[in-house]
Amino acid sequence: MSTAIFASLAAAVVGALALSARRWRGKAGTSDEAPHRAAYILENTVTHARVLPQPSAHAFTYPTLAFLLSLNALEAHELDLGRGWLFGYGGTSWRLTGLRSEAYLLPDVRGSAVVGERGARALRDKLADVLCLHGRDEERVRTWLEEGDAWMLTMPSYLGYEGINPLTVYFCYGTRGQLEWVVLEIHNTFGEKHVHVLEPGEDEDTVCPSGFDHTWTFARDFHVSPFNDRTGFYVVSIRAPPSPRSTTDTASRLPKVRIHLHNASPTASQKRPSQTNLPESALGPRKLMATFSARRATPLTSTGLLMALARYPFALFLSFARILYHAWILHYLKRLDVFPRPDPKPATPGWGVFSRGPGERDGAKAAQRVSGGAGWQPEGIVEAYARGVVERFLSRRADELDIAISLMSGDPSVPPKTFQPSRMEERQKGRAHLAIHHAAPRFFTTLLLAPSGEHMLLLGRVEGLFRVNSESLFLRAFTSPASTQRRSCIMTQRLRASLLPRRFLLATGQASELGDTPHTHPLDAHRPIFNALAICALHLADRMEKAVFSLLRARFVPGLEPWGRWERAASAAQDRRSE
């Protein structure tokens, strides 16, 4: 019955779109019907093929719809159709199709903009920020921003639904129509984003496949598929369309992107990301192939849009459904195990780099961008609570110990914070400075769950979750103050320890009644009962995740189960002591 109802609704949608298209076609001569050389609807063929491991080989092909848009024309609202109802830039609500800048590239600094506002930062400005963060010359980027243009290849929202955009490509052109940069923006199903900035003539492969203009090889460092880890190399080949200002018809030279994922060979794995200009023969075996090929381009007009949607009424809805369907095949039929989602690699300039020169304050110094991370998962409720607990604690400890404490996130949209003693005027120059660089919001819940500063550092080393400029200063800061000696604090600490494996409690080598666990915890000085509730919620979430996976008979790669992090940390500590 439900299938019949869905089929009837589908037929109704297709019929309505077709009738609307005919009516709009009858109104030719309006501005919405004038062919615009700065915007096209692309009908595409996408092919995916996994070749390794051989027992799990799998391939599929499907059609998609995408838009190829001039950023200059898009942001001038020259491409809006039907007064923004059929297609509009600046939001997705109450539109047939739409785009909003908040869904792309770097987010605004957290708290500085409201999602959905028309006043959000322009895509061109955000693209310029990405180019500068990836080391491109600022004067050259400024010239492009003032005088150049770019094609944006992406999928729009549909009926207010903003689906996954697995790949968005920006082809940036200079004033003379030359291709300056190609920016690949990758989205995964976890709501995270990553960018790669590629430049013709820079780190470009010497051999380019037939039918393509440029090829680059670079290290992979973003979690896209749960069936792959983050090792290996991408070999990306592209065919670029003519410049938006070119007199050449864009429909005569449609964009094409081919991506090959190679395992890392012993030779390639020793190369730094800036030295990955390697021929495919020097890489490990090819593991995956994906090709995006535009086969037809239609000018973006009201009629063209409605006709395209009538031909492909569900294409813009199906990205996530296809991902789930083929994931089911790979996991249950092809027997591929799942890799857990790692925290994105830090992308804030200077993350993990500490200066120790004479006369310099101990802290992070400016450095090259660490990775291409552009979007993190939003902070959860318990993570936000834990962050508040940690920040209030560090503010108090800065005063109590007369030290400066700084927090830097790997997420570039999160501004750094520094906690200074209130007695700033007395002794600022020689004051000690504790710098803590964390990779993700999970850092704060880890501090709340770990029973001592030593256990926190152990997890930080094993998981790469955070770095500090001084372990001794960190341990000094995370020593339990006298205000935690109340009964409620002791009970919360006992609860904390009881929910962790004893092997982990014994991992740091300082014994007490609770193994290696102090009687109290530094973060429990205020609101210990709320801390206890947060601790229970976090452990309950782990147990529920394990139960759901067991119920679905889903499998993580053995030894990488998320709920096994405490045992892995204990094993790492044991291995370190035995070396």
Query: Does 248 fall in a domain?
Result: yes
Average pLDDT, the chain: 86
Mean pLDDT of 428-451: 91
pLDDT category at 109 given cuts 50, 70, 90 is low
Q: Please, which residues bridge with residue 354 across strands?
A: 364
Distance (Å, rounded) from C-alpha 518 to C-alpha 541? 25
Query: In this structure, is residue 127 part of a structural domain?
Result: yes
Same-domain pairing of 317 and 365: no
Residue 364 has pLDDT above 50, yes or no: no
Task: State how far the Cα of 276 lies from the Cα of 282, in Å rounded to an integer.
Answer: 10
Is 1 among the domain residues? no
416 within some domain: yes
- Choose the weakest-confidence range: 78-82, 189-193, 330-334, 365-369: 365-369
Q: Are residues 308 and 369 in the same domain?
A: no
Q: Is residue 347 part of a domain?
A: no
pLDDT of residue 12: 53
- Strands 97-99 and 87-89 come out as parallel
Secondary structure element (H or E) that encloses residue 373, with its range: strand 373-375
User: pLDDT at position 120, please?
Assistant: 73
Tell me: do 503 and 456 sit in the same domain: yes
Q: For residues 300 and 69, is the Cβ–Cβ distance under 8 A? A: yes
185 with 291, same domain? Answer: yes
Per-residue pLDDT for 87 more than 70? yes
Do 393 and 482 lie in a common domain? Answer: yes
Please tell me whether residues 296 and 426 are part of one structural domain: no
Q: Give yes or no for residue 197 having a pLDDT over 70.
A: yes
Q: Are residues 390 and 489 in the same domain?
A: yes
- Residue 80: C-alpha distances to residues 75, 88, 97, 98, 103 (Å): 10, 5, 10, 9, 18
DSSP code at position 262: E
Q: At what angle do helices 442-449 and 528-552 cross, to 10 degrees?
A: 110
Q: Distance between CA atoms of 178 and 243, rounded to whole angstroms?
A: 7
Residue 218 within a domain: yes
Percent of the chain with pLDDT over 70: 83
- With bands split at pLDDT 50, 70 and 90, how would you rate the model's confidence at 283? confident
Contact 222, 186 (CB under 8 A): yes
Residue 256 lies in a domain: yes
Q: For helices 2-26 and 302-311, what crossing angle results, to 10°? A: 160
- Domain co-membership, 535 together with 493: yes
410 lies in the same domain as 315: no
CA 400 from centroid of its chain's CA atoms:
38
What confidence tier does 510 reach under pLDDT thresholds 50, 70, 90? low
pLDDT for res 330: 98
Based on the fold, state whether residues 318 and 266 are members of the same structural domain.
Answer: yes
469 with 572, same domain: the answer is: yes
Q: How far apart are the first and last CA of the chain?
A: 65
List the single range of 145-154, 322-331, 413-422 with lowest mean pLDDT.
Answer: 413-422
Q: Distance between CA 310 and CA 14 in Å, rounded?
A: 5
Q: Quick check: is 378 in a domain?
A: yes
Supply the range of the domain harboring residue 519: 354-578
Our count of domains for the chain comes to 2
Q: Are residues 366 and 256 in the same domain?
A: no
149: closest CA among 217, 232, 244? 244
